[in-house]
Amino acid sequence: MANHPVFRQLREAAGRKRGFYEIRRRLVNHIFPLLVSSTDMATYLITLNISQLATQLSTKDEEGNIIARVTEYRVCRLIKELLKFGVLEAVEEGDVIQWDAFNRKRFPTHVAISDLGWRMIGIDVDRLRQQRQERLDAEYEGLLAPGEQITVRAARKRWLEKMRHKTLIARREAAVKSRLERKLRPQPFDERMSAIADHLARTMPYSERYSMPPDEFEKLCYNRLRQLDLALHQEPHAPPPAPPH
């Protein structure tokens, strides 16, 4: 891919005076299979986790250990370079690499392979559009009002909102789990169970908690401790330890 004539034709338009250096050429060649395999064929959207992408692009030995690491900064620059050439297209306004200030992490980056990018790969764009529309119709069949037509732009917007919402929920749950783990680790097992029971009682819907049998609620508390790696291998209903003599 790095040898494609488009990268020479549009070099000046993309703001470059020279061709790619060797390390950039290798990254261009290796990133395209990752982009294609990650593409949602209904919307063309690609969700890029910059950290994971950097790890996948890093050179590894036969055992999978990283020999030469590709930095996240280099991956960000590569994505922005492909956007300048028009090989990728941004699907959100503003900077494509967005920062989650609350969690101090990057949001997953959303881009799409452009028609130019698909042609460079060797894909029949007209046939691809037809297949995309068929997939689009199939995915949203039964979810729309009578006579409503779904467009690629609307599908992308819905998909992005859904993914951003899922990302925030997952990070919020991880933060709650981390706080619970730090709070409960110094406590003995029975106090951990009590604290988890109180947490679940405050967070579960009342009807669900009220209708749950006591043994199921106890198992739920124990399983939550196991998720926090705080169960200490003690099963529910385990007999209490023998009193000291």
So where are the chain's domains? Answer: 5-169, 185-236
pTM of the predicted model over 0.85: no
Amino acid at 28: V
Indicate the pLDDT class of residue 92, thresholds 50, 70 and 90: low
Q: From 219, 244, 213, 245, select the one nearest 234 (Cα to Cα).
A: 219
Alpha helices in 140-233 (DSSP H): 152-184, 189-203, 206-211, 214-227
What values do phi and psi take at 24, rounded to 5? -70, -35
Lowest mean pLDDT among 7-21, 35-49, 98-112, 221-235: 98-112
Is residue 35 scored above 70 in pLDDT? Answer: yes
- pLDDT at position 140 is 59
State whether the Cα torsion 29-32-33-35 is positive or negative. positive
Q: Look up tokens 């050439």; give the residue.
A: 85
Lowest mean pLDDT among 14-28, 46-60, 160-174: 160-174
* pLDDT higher at 59 or 196: 59
Neighbours of 150 (CB within 10 A): 17
Mean pLDDT of 129-150: 59
Mean pLDDT of 201-218: 82
Mean pLDDT of 29-42: 86
Strands 105-106 and 59-60: unpaired
Indicate the pLDDT class of residue 224, thresholds 50, 70 and 90: confident
Per the DSSP assignment, residues forming a β-bridge with 60 are 66
Is residue 137 scored above 80 in pLDDT? Answer: no
- pLDDT at position 31 is 92
Indicate the pLDDT class of residue 216, thresholds 50, 70 and 90: confident
Indicate the pLDDT class of residue 207, thresholds 50, 70 and 90: confident
State whether the Cα torsion 193-199-204-209 is positive or negative. positive
